Amino acid sequence: MSYRLKPEDDMDFLPIIPLNENDGEIFDSTTVPEELTLLPLRNTVLFPGVVLPITVGRDKSIKAVNDAYKGDKLIGVIAQKDSNIEDPAVGDLETIGTVAKIVKQIKMPDGGITIIIQGKTRFEVEAVTSEEPYFKAKIKILQEEEASTEPDFIAYVDNIKDLATDIIQLSPNIPSEASVILRNIENPSFLIHFVSSNLNTDVKEKQRLLTINSIGERADILMQLLHKELQFAELKNKVTNKTKAELDKQQRDYFLQQQLKSIKEELGGDVNEREVKEMQKKAEGKKWSAAAKEMFKKGAEKLERMHPSTPDYSIVYNHLDLMLDLPWEDYTEDKYDLKKAKAILDADHYGMDKIKERILEYLAVLKLKGDMKSPILCFFGPPGIGKTSLGKSIANAIGRKYVRLSLGGIHDESEIRGHRKTYIGAMPGRIVQSIRKVKSSNPVMILDEIDKVGSDHRGDPSSAMLEVLDPEQNNTFYDNYLELEYDLSKVLFIATANSLQTIQPALRDRLEIIELSGYAVEEKIEIAKRHLLPKQREAHGLKDSKFKINDKVIEKIIEDYTRESGVRELDRQLASIMRNQAKQLAMKGTLKMNLTNADIERILGRSRYSNELYKTANMAGVAVGLAYTYVGGDILFIETTLSDGKADLKLTGNLGNVMKESASTALSYLQANAKRYGLEPGIFEKKTAHVHVPEGAVPKDGPSAGVTMLTALTSAYTGRKVRPYLGMTGEITLRGQVLPVGGIKEKVLAAKRAGLKELILCWQNEKDVQEINPDYIKGVTFHFVKTMNQVLDLALQD
């Protein structure tokens, strides 16, 4: 059953119950003219007694209604056979219709007319007398037969009421008050007309009902149609209830989200949808590989289908965001001005000629060839000498962006390769993160402290670095989070390390090692004047102050207050001086123009290191050796004393196995050659030798103290003192050979800092000494030896 209202062009309706349901019965058919104006209707049939509102839109119909309303207000309402015909002809009209009275006419703002009509009686068209300006026809009134009082007919009527009531209850679109109206209709004929009018069936069925003259037959067909509609309503209701029962929480949430989406669109569009569109727009101008483009396209399509509240939405979004942020094929242009590059390197760092030469060679090849795989450099040397800052200077010199990656303490392979993006909190690896941050695919990347990479049960990061630092492989570096290959071949990797021993052999093999030695005193003076003093002046608000610190004063600070290969401790001492000067300026308003050695002692306190130590240590059994530590070169004393007892060798001073073996080798050599040095072989049976290396808290190891051990033991057993201000380094063999050792430059500079004047080295280390600037080792005499006999002849006093 239907209670809808539409225009006449697409006619459904809302029936209105007349105040007096018997109005249709008392209508005088003799007042109907023989020729009547016709009003064709689409999609509906008017039954006697039923009141309908109709919106009239066709010009013909409007004119017909106006003329009828001005006259007797009677009009013949007749249905079209085909509702799709806009301008019906005579043959398109049914022959049975209903005489209607126009109860009210309302003119609409758009020029149309809404009329309220009440069906009065049925008629039959005998002949159409006029088609223009509207249809007129000669009609014959069809008389309604009286309603039967037979029980069967009354049962039919009651059954129609019950069926209609059931349909109303099962139809959510029909108001429940309609069932009350039905119950209050007492006229059987009007009830049949009212229900027929509201029947939810096609126009042909309704027209069939209108055509039937017998009211009993009409009631029978109506009941059949009602049964059919009731079955349909029950089935529809059953399906609806079943569908509702099957709606789980996810479906409910989906519908709610769709509603929320609609609301957002009304308020200006969905934010998430706009974000996806912006990402796709940004991707259009991106220079990247076909694989990356395809992956982004699939990811964006997936994101469009997902709702922001789903867990995977943020994963996919972050992955696409990373792809957009990466520079892919964006490169900065290298500057090939070699003279300018050299000037920048010289201005930023004093010395380091070998490294500067290597960088200029690389630039020269790049300039000539146009393309070259970047070398993997490793700056190896003690801390504080400027390895990391040199990387930044190289970036400035060649016009590339700079990024530093600190590897110290990393012990998870995923830090390098990234985590798979399905894990909670997953991120790309540090390499890809750095590339993303610097927005260039060919930066200078500093891999700081590569020797301090750890490894545990979570993986070995140094093994993951093998791919990164192999020029043959890093053009297809695979990050687990990105899930794509990324080209790192244009990146200039520069690693820094304090020790090569802790670097994995396979990784070390991929690195071009460039060794950086510690600074000589002269170099430190220049670095202090050019870099450290200006930096500390500015840091302490003394940039405009004119006080001076001359070279002799800086040299005193270096020799008396620092013992290092680099300049970090020197920088701290200069900072202490600047703080004192800032205090003086703030309190007194003036500063002393030239700082003297006395001023330095007043500010920094008494000297921390003294070369007088070597004079007081001039006694038998004490020799000075040269050592190489992670902070650079250093000197160490080796003390030997003899005591009565059994033949034994005690070793103390936190010595490693190699150093202990050197002591045993030295003693065995001395026992085997006792007569050559004027010793009685039996003395070794009566004396216990004790070898000690001071600063017992510091671990010591290595073979380079071999010659020093033998010298100290020989001095103790013979009673001959070691010459003052003499240092030595070298490995020994049981045959008395002296072998070369490493770290010569650091050891020599440490000896110079400590005030030693003579050094004994293996003859094969002479080439290492020649690489040191002669100005830095003025006043030091070198003795190059092949055997221990030569060492002892030079070292021991007569």
Q: Supply the residues annotated as catalytic.
A: 704, 747
Strands (E), 344-472: 377-380, 402-406, 444-448
The backbone torsions φ and ψ at residue 710, rounded to the nearest 5 degrees and listed phi first, read -65, -40
Sign of CA dihedral 90, 92, 98, 102: negative
* CB neighbourhood size of 538 (10 A): 12
Report whether 523 contacts 329 (CB < 8 A): no
Helix (H, G, I), strand (E, B) or coil at 92: helix
Distances (CA, A) of 490 to 157, 290, 351, 412, 436: 94, 19, 28, 26, 15
Site of tokens 């000629």: 353
Smallest CA-to-CA distance from 211 within 92, 127, 97 is with 97
In contact, 215 and 148? CB cutoff 8 Å = yes
Task: Say how far apart CA 82 and CA 67 lie, in whole Å.
Answer: 26
Considering only CA atoms, which of 61, 64, 86 is closest in space to residue 73? 64
CA distance 398 to 406: 22
Look-up: residue for tokens 């003119």?
A: 107
Contact between 395 and 401 (Cβ < 8 Å): yes
Cα–Cα distance, 6 to 10 (Å, whole number): 6
Q: How far is CA 781 from CA 756, 765, 778, in A?
A: 9, 14, 8
Residues 6+ apart with CB under 8 A from 488: 431, 435, 468, 474, 475, 477
Do the Cβ atoms of 768 and 744 come closer than 8 Å?
A: yes
- Sole residue written with tokens 């073979």: 703
Q: Report how far residue 740's alpha carbon sits from residue 291's, in angstroms, rounded to the nearest whole number.
A: 55
Q: Are 597 and 483 in contact (CB under 8 A)?
A: no
Q: Which of 498, 495, 501 is nearest to 468 (CA)?
A: 495
| Residue the block writes with tokens 């039905």 | 182
CB 366 within 8 A of CB 338: no
User: Could you tell me whether strands 74-79 and 51-56 are parallel, antiparallel, or unpaired per DSSP bridges?
Assistant: unpaired
Quote the DSSP letter at residue 454.
-
